Structure 1
């Protein structure tokens, strides 16, 4: 006991004392903004977007300038955030072009065997809530078993959407599914069938009558299925849940952020007398974009800027609530994005994505613009104010950070890839524990980052890169997303190498001819990859074709299917 009091005399151990000296462990409020770019916040250099609430948090806390998402897409990044593990370890990394869940009635999801920080916090007396986007699965065998639901992963309360906000959920914004359909295996089949029929009708080619009938039938069935799916998608997939109940189907996006902010405030008010963990997972600023009437048309950056400024307002309202309840000094607040901005999303000729700053590319790529995300941490009186940390950190680091602060034991039966952030935040250490970071494109190892000990260099080596050609709107821009399979990438032998400490925009690839250390770096990275590979085990692929397709028996429906699954039980 005397030793603990000696530690408490030092400012560096304030956080440890709060837990060990009979005081309460901290509360947690985590904000994850969907598809926000690192260049979208004023505290990260934006001079035209108004983000006063998040800028104030940065001034009162620590800004992390090399905070890396464990994946460049929503589903795997969020799985890594909650579990502290690379998504390939949990099966949340796809092996085909699909890297996320896009259908609510699919059977894949975050396995119940995975341990989230919410689950451990709940076991240690915390009230836990997830407000907003989940995107990690829903049901397994029935439409109400909720095996992948937030309730199964440690969240007492859930108010939000189970998949993601797509343009299909916003009337008049078109569909993503025709584009995805033609890029799936055999997706071009209907195009070839239709072309063959036209050429046959023109007399260019001769086809037997049976073949013509069979081809025509196949083309009609494929197109009818696609049309039916597109027409019914909003009713079947765009719904809002409170806990296990569907309360609005399809939802109206316009006031979603307002409603979710109100829900978060009410959660804080209900739990002001006990430890709590609130994960506010914003639906904005994912496309299709929306903003409430109070924010629409206010920014200098169109609807995207309106959405960012509404998110900032929401963050501010929740911080105001913490202040009003006198909880700010006892709460660790964290703000980040799940991945970079969606630069390839174009609608009616207008680009909808955010800003990556000086960094290359955006969402769905492992270029820095796709995985280097804004991050802020604030804990008044514990974490120093107005501090900047330029060491590599990860969104996986929140898992071990929460585990230690709540006094839980780190699971020893699995690999944990995150590292406790508190020593860096408190200034106890200057170097990150992340020497190597492995960047996956779905389930394919795409790149490796190496921050050698006693070196300022941060090497990043690419084994392949996406066909990303924004200057002529081909490659990723043609498909609206960068895919990982061989037909959409370029392999490099020898691999591309960058030194991010000198070339953060990844503009000048190094090679054995212009970098004397190239061979040594390549050897060290390959040795690290070999060691990393030994820690991987075979797990079921949650994003396999079987696990992502629509299963009618898993379809949530708040009314009779004959009533088109429509309801409005949750109005403001």
Structure 2
């Protein structure tokens, strides 16, 4: 065999090896990164053991992800409850700009994302990505109605501010709007939270089984904890224990079908550890924080399965993995005392609240070769920043479609900045509609009380008392000292900035430092 032939065979063998490893460049162009976004449901900042080593829950897979990427200590959801955050995440707009400025949708709600509204999915799809959503949707579906009820669809707020009547829905017909119409090529979803009917799945906006069964609900007197779910329609074969494993199976099946020829975006909004807290037998009793802690550890194992699939499929090297939660935990003070576990970490409050515990969330980003492993960022960021970050990653130049409230965190991820450039502030909204604005060390809450689930929820100020709350988080991260009356200039400054953001129709590029 000649030397030339040997070299040729060796080169060919090397090319084959590169192909099998998924590293062959496409037509000389640098391949865009895949994106996997895992969104836990009601997971607290302190439920991740990397954030709270002294907690009673262990999350080795999420911790490993953090050790391989960047862990954020000051990341926030735009709202303290489910639906609004999901709207903000996918659209890059604060949720109070939507048709549902306060509250959440239900399983019989109509789609909240406006027609023709750009989303992260539609952005990536238009740039050559294969897009998929597997998991809890909770952004509404335009269910079709039975003959004779069409006029209801023209009623103001029907299906948004009030639920559709399930007896008026024609379940034999596919919803006219949902994941498919906002940019997802493939979808396998639960309509809303796992404790809200109808209990069923839709694949590509078609019911996999009609909800002809019925459940009387479970643990209805538990105070929305434990194995709680509401009564209502369900598919006859629906199994609450099977939901989390099923979503993981569908997500990993999608990943195994992917190749290096086309980038993909997988949005995986898990329905856990939101109620019902129903860990499978494998995880029951594995934590020291009761059913909730066990369920969190099952969520962690689910994250591990997704990461292992990426590794086994040779996709990890060119995949950005983002892990976050949609809001803080539903974890009462009595549970903190009972289990000696602070699900919200050192922060005050819980899900629903304007306090930090309601919206400060675990947030981790891994991007091999780009994000420094084991890095920790104190940059203040919010989940609405996904859209702008994706735009910068893929090199989108069209500035006319930049959403109002999204700023790229790419410079932070790459270690080029310690704060999010151009972001004027971060705004939160509580379950009762309290607004909070954060800039630098200062946080202003419009109103007194938690604004959410923690008592007292709302306090009417008496004569001589402050009208709102002002905290310096640098010295008082637990929000125990209200400085509203001592710092009128800071109150006025943040109040004016909040008003400016709320009134703005375009993105504010103030360059204000955080």
Give yes or no for the alignment of 1:127 onto 2:137. Answer: no
Inter-partner Cα distance in structure 1 for 2:460 and 2:391 = 40
The offset of 1:352, in angstroms, is 13
Q: Of 527, 533, 536, which aligns to 2:496?
A: 527
Q: CA, structure 1 residues 351+519, in 2 after alignment: closer, same or farther (shift >3 Å)?
A: same
The offset of 1:476, in angstroms, is 3.8
TM-score, normalised with respect to structure 2 = 0.76
Matched-pair contact (CA < 8 Å) for 1:36–1:354: no
Inter-partner Cα distance in structure 1 for 2:83 and 2:220 = 20
Give 2:152's aligned residue: none
Inter-partner Cα distance in structure 2 for 1:171 and 1:289 = 17
Give 1:448's aligned residue: 437
Give 2:50's aligned residue: 43
Give 1:71's aligned residue: 79
Matched-pair contact (CA < 8 Å) for 1:128–1:277: yes
Question: Aligned with 1:525: secondary structure?
Answer: helix
Matched-pair contact (CA < 8 Å) for 2:447–2:467: no
Inter-partner Cα distance in structure 2 for 1:533 and 1:312 = 37
Matched-pair contact (CA < 8 Å) for 2:70–2:413: yes
Give 1:59's aligned residue: 67
Inter-partner Cα distance in structure 1 for 2:237 and 2:459 = 37
Give 2:478's aligned residue: 505
Inter-partner Cα distance in structure 2 for 1:329 and 1:90 = 37
The offset of 1:178, in angstroms, is 11
Question: Aligned with 2:426: secondary structure?
Answer: strand
Q: CA, structure 1 residues 327+507, in 2 after alignment: closer, same or farther (shift >3 Å)?
A: same
Matched-pair contact (CA < 8 Å) for 1:92–1:110: no
Alignment map for 1:259-270 (pairs within 5 Å): 259-270=246-257
Matched-pair contact (CA < 8 Å) for 2:354–2:436: yes
Question: Aligned with 1:30: secondary structure?
Answer: strand
Question: Aligned with 1:251: secondary structure?
Answer: coil
Q: Deviations 1:291-329 (Å, cap 9, x if unpaired)? A: 122212222222111111111111111111111111111
Inter-partner Cα distance in structure 2 for 1:351 and 1:140 = 42
Inter-partner Cα distance in structure 2 for 1:396 and 1:353 = 29
TM-score, normalised with respect to structure 1 = 0.69
Q: CA, structure 1 residues 314+423, in 2 after alignment: closer, same or farther (shift >3 Å)?
A: same
Give 1:224's aligned residue: none
Inter-partner Cα distance in structure 1 for 2:449 and 2:111 = 26
Matched-pair contact (CA < 8 Å) for 2:216–2:232: no
Q: Deviations 1:202-248 (Å, cap 9, x if unpaired)? A: xxxxxxxxxxxxxxxxxxxxxxxxxxxx99x6442x5xxxxxxxxx4
Q: Deviations 1:349-384 (Å, cap 9, x if unpaired)? A: 999997111100010111000000000000111111
- CA-atom RMSD in angstroms: 3.2
Question: Aligned with 1:67: secondary structure?
Answer: strand
Structure whose residues are more often helix by fraction: 1
Give 1:471's aligned residue: none
The offset of 1:105, in angstroms, is 2.4
Q: Of 16, 23, 26, which aligns to 2:30?
A: 23
Matched-pair contact (CA < 8 Å) for 1:33–1:338: yes
Give 2:241's aligned residue: 254
Give 1:561's aligned residue: none
Alignment map for 1:58-137 (pairs within 5 Å): 58-94=66-102, 99-102=103-106, 104-137=107-140
Give 2:194's aligned residue: 165
Inter-partner Cα distance in structure 2 for 1:109 and 1:19 = 38
The offset of 1:343, in angstroms, is 2.3
The offset of 1:146, in angstroms, is 2.5
Matched-pair contact (CA < 8 Å) for 1:49–1:300: yes
Question: Aligned with 1:44: secondary structure?
Answer: coil
The offset of 1:257, in angstroms, is 1.3
Inter-partner Cα distance in structure 2 for 1:119 and 1:438 = 25
Matched-pair contact (CA < 8 Å) for 2:98–2:112: no
Inter-partner Cα distance in structure 2 for 1:19 and 1:496 = 55
Inter-partner Cα distance in structure 2 for 1:467 and 1:49 = 26
Inter-partner Cα distance in structure 2 for 1:330 and 1:173 = 44
Matched-pair contact (CA < 8 Å) for 2:134–2:188: yes
- The structure with higher relative contact order (CA 8 Å, sep 6+) is 1
Give yes or no for the alignment of 1:156 onto 2:185. Answer: yes
Matched-pair contact (CA < 8 Å) for 2:289–2:339: no
Paired residue total: 430
Question: Aligned with 1:333: secondary structure?
Answer: strand
Inter-partner Cα distance in structure 1 for 2:99 and 2:341 = 28
Question: Aligned with 1:466: secondary structure?
Answer: coil
Give 2:288's aligned residue: 300
- Bigger-Rg structure (1/2): 1
Matched-pair contact (CA < 8 Å) for 1:285–1:307: yes
